[in-house]
Amino acid sequence: MLFTMQRTESTFDEIPVIDLSNASSPDPAQRLALAEKIRDACVNVTNHGIPERYVIDALEAVKPFFALPTPSKMEFDIHKSTNFKGYTKILGEKTDPNGKGPGDLHEGFDIGWEQLDQQSFSSRDDGEMSGSNVWPDLPGFKEAVLTYYHAVVQLGLKLFPLFALALDLPENFFEDKTTKPAAIMRLLHYPPQPPVIVDDDGSGIGIGAHTDYECFTILWQDNVSALQVQTTEGKWIDAVPIPGTFVLNIGDQLARWTNDVFKSTVHRAINKSGLERYSIPLFYGVDYDVPLTPIASCISSDMPAKYEVITAGEYVRHRLQETYAHSGTNP
């Protein structure tokens, strides 16, 4: 009989902390032991190798941008972009596909892959998601943001082999599918809001309940608690910020590769602190032209294929269109 993977149930009461020191250990047993720990839908990772200085610099770069008057920020309106890059105004996004409210109480600035050392953007064929970044003319902004971006992209490349191991696949399974890092990064600002519990009409939500669209998300959050993660039983757990760690979430592309053996993590954020909150998620997917074909060991007569096969780029574009539809269309 063919070996079939079992679905992972995430039933934690608090989000586990996983030490990534052994991610590139020469000992395969240590890499495998670590891989088993990241099966859960959501973990905090420590010893990730990203210098704190990079986080601080990116944050200090973006704060003056968010402090600009709205018309200046709207010059970089995400709706002017072919590939959803640039500025999202407060309430500009509605991340919960079933959300009833007026939109999400955060503003954001999105970038994708770009080399750090280049004068001008060299375009890359990203199919559905082709296009360039936009940059405000603020001193040090681009350099600080891209320096942090590239450090997290490198961390992500170390995680793909662990996910492959956890699926009993060759460690290099994702290598030829991640040759042009398809990573979107967002710098997010949640302004202080009245300490309301979210109303029945959905107003007051910082970011509505959703799953992320790529394979996994590496998220830095400041020390203001707002993020919540839903367990398989439907319980909301606070992703309490732990200094020096990142949150690692599973996203829809991995769910599609694995026919839901790895489920994508439902999460949301509500900033009830009365304080400003900042977070920086980086969503790491496979190359946009790669079809999300389910892995054979994740399909059986008990677990028939759940998702139609589409490319990563088609999937991401479709989801971004839905998210931003209520505040405009893109070219």
Ligand X SMILES: O=C(O)CCC(=O)C(=O)O
Residues that bind Fe ion (CB under 5 A): 212
Q: What is residue 280's three-state secondary structure? A: strand
Size of the site for ligand X (CB under 6 A): 11
Measured CA distances, 302 to 9, 256, 294, 306 (Å): 16, 17, 15, 11
Residue 250 binding partner per list ligand X, Fe ion, none, with a CB distance cut-off of 5 to 8 Å that depends on partner kind: none
Residue at shortest CB range from Fe ion: 212
Helix locations, 67-119, DSSP H: 70-74
Shortest gap between Cβ of 299 and ligand X (angstroms)? 28
Between 114 and 212, CB nearer to Fe ion: 212
Shortest gap between Cβ of 4 and Fe ion (angstroms)? 29
Determine which residue in the list 132, 133, 193, 221 makes contact with ligand X, applying CB under 6 A: 221
Determine which residue in the list 188, 255, 270, 286 makes contact with ligand X, applying CB under 6 A: 188
85 contacts ligand X (rule: CB under 6 A): no
CB 44 within 8 A of CB 284: no
> How far does the chain reach from its first CA to its final CA, in angstroms?
50
Q: Give CA torsion, residues 207, 310, 182, 5, to 10 deg.
A: 80
Determine which residue in the list 101, 131, 281, 313 makes contact with ligand X, applying CB under 6 A: 281
Residues facing residue 312 across a β-bridge: none
Shortest gap between Cβ of 300 and Fe ion (angstroms)? 30
Residues counted in the chain: 331
319 contacts ligand X (rule: CB under 6 A): no
Distance CA 198, CA 47 (A): 35
Determine which residue in the list 207, 229, 298, 299 makes contact with ligand X, applying CB under 6 A: 207
Shortest gap between Cβ of 322 and Fe ion (angstroms)? 14
Shortest gap between Cβ of 280 and ligand X (angstroms)? 8
186 contacts ligand X (rule: CB under 6 A): yes
Between 40 and 173, CB nearer to Fe ion: 40
Q: Which amino acid is at 160?
A: F
312 contacts ligand X (rule: CB under 6 A): no
Q: What is residue 15's three-state secondary structure? A: coil
CB 159 within 8 A of CB 216: yes
Sign of the torsion formed by the C-alpha atoms of 63, 266, 171 and 37: positive
Distance CA 42, CA 24 (A): 21
43 contacts ligand X (rule: CB under 6 A): no
267 contacts ligand X (rule: CB under 6 A): yes
**Interacting span for ligand X (CB under 6 A) from 41-49, 78-86, 111-119, 219-227:** 219-227
Query: Judging by DSSP bridges, how do beta strands 246-250 and 42-46 pair with one another?
Result: antiparallel
212 contacts ligand X (rule: CB under 6 A): yes
62 contacts ligand X (rule: CB under 6 A): no
Between 58 and 239, CB nearer to Fe ion: 239
The alpha carbon of 170 is separated from its chain's Cα centroid by a whole number of angstroms, namely 24
Q: Which amino acid is at 230?
A: Q
Residue 254 binding partner per list Fe ion, ligand X, none, with a CB distance cut-off of 5 to 8 Å that depends on partner kind: none
224 contacts ligand X (rule: CB under 6 A): no
Between 34 and 152, CB nearer to ligand X: 152
Residue 154: partners with Cβ closer than 8 Å, 6 or more residues away: none
Shortest gap between Cβ of 129 and Fe ion (angstroms)? 18
Nearest CA to 283 out of 311, 309, 320 is that of 320
CB 285 within 8 A of CB 316: yes
Residue at shortest CB range from ligand X: 279
Between 78 and 269, CB nearer to ligand X: 269
Which stretches of the chain bind ligand X, using CB under 6 A?
186, 188, 207, 212, 219, 221, 227, 267, 269, 279, 281
